[in-house]
Structure 1
Amino acid sequence: MSKRGTRRCKIKKGDQVIVIAGRDRNKRGRVLEVLPDKGKVRVEGIAIVKRHERANRATGRGGGIIEKEALIDISNVQLIDPETGKPTRVRYQINEDGTKTRIAVRSGAALDKA
């Protein structure tokens, strides 16, 4: 049984992204979780689903209908350029000390906090 390869992921937790496809198209949000092995991300306020949960006395959690964010495909989100506020692709730049920095293609602004 062969395992599917992981996608290279230029999106990190805490990034501001815009949804470019699907029912939540053109909505913006902050990345809560990245799963590169599945090629999925969880974005704050995007792809809200309702789940029926049973009460659990051990954890003290009550039951009911709970709304939470579902996973969406990485290909359906794009990073927001910090300078222009528009969606942008991302490239890497290798610094003199050998570290990689993410750069917005649209404006050339650094996305990583240095």
Structure 2
Amino acid sequence: MSKIKKNDIVKILAGRDSGKTGKVLTVFPKKMKALVQGINMVKKHSRRKSNDQQAGIIHKESSIDISNLMVICQKCSRAVRVGSSKLSDGTKVRICKKCKEII
């Protein structure tokens, strides 16, 4: 089970963008990778496919390994480990390991 979900705000722990924060756009659970907005940008050379499309070099996000990401808790505003807990109604939720608040 991946502890990082779509729309989470995460901090980058390793790589050329370490220390930066961004919003998760997509998670690929089988590959254990995620796309983070504005992080791990690569240049892709594209060919013109139709008359209205421009050819050239496009900057786009590349996937980054989930082990290099850490969720930022909205309550305590820092990168934290994520745990899980069951509520009284039986719903499973993610919690911050520092402040015990629901993420």
Give the number of equivalent residue pairs: 103
Give the TM-score normalised by the residue count of structure 1. Answer: 0.86
Match of 2:27 in 1: 34
Match of 1:14 in 2: 7
**2:49 corresponds to which of 56, 66, 70:** 56
> For the residues of structure 1 that align with 2:27 and 2:78, how far apart are their CA atoms?
21
Moved over 3 A (4+): none
User: Aligned partner of 1:37: which letter?
Assistant: K
Percent identity among equivalent residues?
43
- Post-superposition Cα deviations, 1:44-65, rounded to whole Å, max 9, x if no partner, equal 010000000011118x422110
Q: Which runs of 5+ in 1 are unaligned?
A: 1-7
Matched, 1:96 2:88: yes
Q: Which runs of 5+ in 2 are unaligned?
A: none
Match of 2:62 in 1: 70
Give the TM-score normalised by the residue count of structure 2. Answer: 0.95
